Structure 1
Amino acid sequence: MKFRASTERFHSQFDWLDSWHSFSFSHHYDPRWMGFGPLRVINDDTVAAGRGFGMHPHQDMEIVTVMVQGQLNHRDSMGHSEVLKAGEVQRMSAGTGVVHSEMNLGEEACRFLQIWIEPDQRDLKPDYEQKPFGIGRDWTALLDPSGRDAAMAISQTLFLWRAKPQPGDELSLPAEGGPMLWLQLIDGALSWTSEQGEPATLVKGDGVGLHRDDPRLHRLRGTDSGADVLLFAMNA
């Protein structure tokens, strides 16, 4: 098990940006936290109104943005000019190269999780997709390699689900995906059974990587009305 407590994540803070990094990012470096399988970046970003990231390049990376609060204005060298709103997910395959900006042109701070996934092929044609997802108490598929059930497809054998369980709801593991699982708490709390058989709690910002066979993942339970969680499934 690899447990990443919310308070142990890397932290970048400026007058317009509050960013928590689950893995090594930018000048934050720790060889123990270089990602988890093909999952390379989980950044939990809060951006002040009227500010954001100007035009900057990416290459050979699958970039997924899960919008949590507010709005984010996207522009890129492929010709897209879109507004990403809470509840929507954006997928950008950087491929051979793309330049884009992410600005908060709304009237309040916005919050989103930006996720970078290493693709299984290089030098792909850049691509863009954006859509809303209704998130309920059980798992909703956001990413699926084959694009089933209205999920987005990326160039990697990686699945991503999101759920908002209510207190007492139990979350069963989806059958799809590889043996490596990463759980990331967006908000609220989940309980599970510790190795000693005692209830343990995961809270906002916590992340944990486990093998699919770990019995703790078969006893996930919502513990408050604000629980909001991502689940990744992938190969090594």
Structure 2
Amino acid sequence: MEIRRADDRFQTASEWLDSRHSFSFGPHYDPANVGFGFLLAHNDEKVAPGTGFGTHPHQDLEIVTWVLRGALAHQDSQGHSGVVYPGLAQRMSAGSGIQHSERNDGTEPVHYVQMWVRPDELDLPPSYEQSEIDLTTGELVPIASGLPQHTASAAIRINQRSAGMSVARLGPGGTVALPAARYVHLFVAQGAASLEGAGDLGTSDAVRLTSVDGARVTAGPEGAELLVWEMT
């Protein structure tokens, strides 16, 4: 287990953006921290009202967006458009090439986590998908996955057969077991939690687990929202 604290991440900051990067990203480069498993980017973004990312290109990436607060407007060169808000998962497969924009058209800041995964195949046709998620179960819910075991349960499919992301929204003292996989990336998106074998974790702390079999995570007194990638 390798704990990565929130304040140790790379930061990109401007008048309208506060972005925290779990891995090397843009001008921030550490040759020892360029990803984990198939996970290439894990960005914790806060965007001010009336601002955002203008039209820009992507290629050969599976991009998963999960909003924690506010709403994020999306438009792309394939004609897709929509607003992503808490409880709605979004996946954009960049494939052979796509351009898109992401804006906060609301009156309050939007806070979201965007994650990039390496696909199985290059030059796939670009595509887009979004789906409402029920997080009332207190369990890990598959959100975006290409794993065979999630074929029937994942809300959104990604073009990577060896990776999948789940989310758990836990009440105070709620607990879940992390999946047994070669690589597991745990991110405390909101609240606080305790991980078996690692101790206390605060908001935006992360843990990278390699070949650890089913460690348990317990939410703190105010509950927690956990984002978990498993990769084989």
Per the normalisation by structure 1, the TM-score is 0.91
Q: Distance in 2 between matches of 1:6 and 1:81?
A: 32
* Matched-pair contact (CA < 8 Å) for 2:50–2:107: yes
Q: Distance in 2 between matches of 1:5 and 1:173?
A: 19
Partner-residue secondary structure (3-state), 2:7: helix
Partner-residue secondary structure (3-state), 1:164: strand
Partner-residue secondary structure (3-state), 1:31: coil
The reply to whether residue 224 of structure 1 matches residue 230 of structure 2 is: no
Q: Distance in 2 between matches of 1:193 and 1:131?
A: 32
The reply to whether residue 167 of structure 1 matches residue 166 of structure 2 is: no
Q: Distance in 1 between matches of 2:139 and 2:18?
A: 30
Report deviation, 1:125.
Answer: 0.5
Q: Distance in 1 between matches of 2:231 and 2:80?
A: 30
Could you tell me which of 138, 144, 153 is aligned with 1:149? 153
The reply to whether residue 184 of structure 1 matches residue 183 of structure 2 is: no
Q: Distance in 2 between matches of 1:47 and 1:226?
A: 25
* Matched-pair contact (CA < 8 Å) for 1:165–1:225: no
Partner-residue secondary structure (3-state), 2:178: coil
Q: Which amino acid aligns with 1:138?
A: E
C-alpha deviations, 1:67-94, integer Å up to 9, x for none? 1111111110000121112221110000
Q: Which amino acid aligns with 1:187?
A: Q
Partner-residue secondary structure (3-state), 1:7: helix
Q: What is residue 209 of structure 1 aligned with on the other side?
A: 208
The reply to whether residue 194 of structure 1 matches residue 193 of structure 2 is: no
Q: What is residue 40 of structure 2 aligned with on the other side?
A: 40
Quick one: structure 1 residues 151 and 168, their matched pair in 2 at CA, closer, same or farther if it must change by over 3 Å? same
Q: What is residue 61 of structure 2 aligned with on the other side?
A: 61
Segment drifting more, 185-194 vs 108-117: 185-194
Partner-residue secondary structure (3-state), 2:156: coil
* Matched-pair contact (CA < 8 Å) for 2:178–2:216: no
Could you tell me which of 158, 166, 176 is aligned with 2:163? 158
Task: Note the residue ranges of structure 2 that are not aligned, 5 or more in a row.
Answer: none
Partner-residue secondary structure (3-state), 1:149: coil
Q: Distance in 2 between matches of 1:36 and 1:97?
A: 24
Q: Which has the higher strand share?
A: 2
Q: Distance in 2 between matches of 1:228 and 1:54?
A: 29
- Equivalent residues in 2 for 1:106-145 (5 A)? 106-136=106-136, 137-145=138-146
- Equivalent residues in 2 for 1:31-110 (5 A)? 31-110=31-110
Partner-residue secondary structure (3-state), 1:75: strand
Report deviation, 1:120.
Answer: 1.3
C-alpha deviations, 1:7-47, integer Å up to 9, x for none? 10001111101111001100011111101011000100010
Report deviation, 1:150.
Answer: 4.4
Report deviation, 1:167.
Answer: 2.1
* Matched-pair contact (CA < 8 Å) for 1:22–1:43: yes
Q: Which amino acid aligns with 1:140?
A: V
Q: Which amino acid aligns with 1:231?
A: V
Q: What is residue 234 of structure 1 aligned with on the other side?
A: 231
Task: Note the residue ranges of structure 1 that are not aligned, 5 or more in a row.
Answer: none
Identity %: 42
Per the normalisation by structure 2, the TM-score is 0.93
**Size of the alignment, in residue pairs?**
227
Report deviation, 1:212.
Answer: 4.0
Report deviation, 1:219.
Answer: 2.9
Partner-residue secondary structure (3-state), 2:170: coil
* Matched-pair contact (CA < 8 Å) for 1:11–1:19: yes
